Amino acid sequence: MKPVYLAGRGLACSLGLDVPAAVTALRSGGGAASFYTLPGEPAVRVPYRAMADVPGDWNTRAGELIRRVALEAGAQHARDGALFIATSSFDIGAVEQGAAGMDYQAFADKVAAWLAWVGPVFVVSTACTSSLNAMMAAHALLHSGTVQDALVLGVELNNRLTVDGFAALQLLSPDRSKPFGAHRDGLVLGEAVAALRLSSRASSHWQMLGGANVVHGKQPTSASASAVEYMYRSALAHCGLAADAIDLIKVQAAGSPGNDAIEAQGLRGMFPTMPPLVSLKATIGHTMGASGAAEIALLTACLEHGVWPTYADAQDETLGVQLAARQPDSVRRLMASILGFGGGHATVVLERT
């Protein structure tokens, strides 16, 4: 079985249109969220982590961002490998602008054409866990030697359906995301395009060891503490690691009153000695299907450049967990987790080589 390396990364998010720009913005404290106006009488504004404007309609903008991010990740070295497109909204934004109705195969063909991709193409859509599940699928192909290169592409761009849907469920904060915060009151959505180039032949600073995806069907719109615990336990077993081998966990912690508490309960059940925790939802928003790839791209760059997010709000001491106020002195192994609709609980394990 072959090792799998994170050989390249690309990211366009509200912090910037490439990884260096995002790290620089985070070092300076991160930018403020823009606002999205919900229809109704009276109209209501909610915060939204939008990217810097790229001109053109949805397809023009998407094509430009996808090509830019894929190039940053080094996709030109992997075009004969496997492409995994991870998304929860596909091109619904284009449909909202008058394009033809959604066709998943047409969307995959369109993205592959933008990248001049010649290898096999897969689409993964498991709500918020999409890009982590795409990473695990790519890891399986690379680890077995089926392919030597893969590109995981997370795509989540602005559309009314996603924001209006979350607003209708009363899941959005009126001002900002407060991960594990004492006064958390909902999440803040955002848009991102992220690319992770995985390879079994090009070594790098980071190796992907494996992961786990656990679905708890009885909780379609919220997390399950037992599933969170089982997710971590399964991932560690898959990688042959003990709980104390983990130096950092990137948690979901989107600022949801209920889900943050459930996630904290699952963490306490799994880790008798809690590793340092970090959340990136307050800096780039919850980018849905792209969130796993986007947050891994940003987090690994932050660890390499000594940059760390800050949290403006007081932590909820009743949760029994705390986000780390500064970067840990040494991070060899980290877990990156996403919890999502449909009862999905996914995490992957990375090791710094």
| pLDDT score at 222 | 81
How many other CB atoms are found less than 10 A from the CB of residue 159?
A: 20
| CA 153 from centroid of its chain's CA atoms | 11
Say what the pTM is. 0.97
CA distance 104 to 115: 17
pLDDT per position as a tens digit, 138-196: 999 999 999 999 999 999 999 999 999 999 999 999 999 999 999 999 999 999 999 99
How many other CB atoms are found less than 10 A from the CB of residue 123?
A: 17
Does domain 4-199 bear CATH number 3.40.47.10? yes
- The yes-or-no verdict on residue 32 having pLDDT over 90 is no
| In the chain, % of residues over pLDDT 70 | 100
pLDDT per position as a tens digit, 51-61: 988 889 999 99
Sign of CA dihedral 234, 239, 241, 245: negative
What does pLDDT average to over the chain?
95
SS3 101: coil
CA distance 160 to 269: 38
- Read off the pLDDT band of 123 (50, 70, 90): very high
Domain 208-352 homologous superfamily, CATH: Thiolase/Chalcone synthase (3.40.47.10)
Residue with tokens 């009126």: 174
What integer is the mean pLDDT of 225-251? 97
CATH 3.40.47.10 in the chain, residue ranges: 4-199, 208-352
How many other CB atoms are found less than 10 A from the CB of residue 3?
A: 15
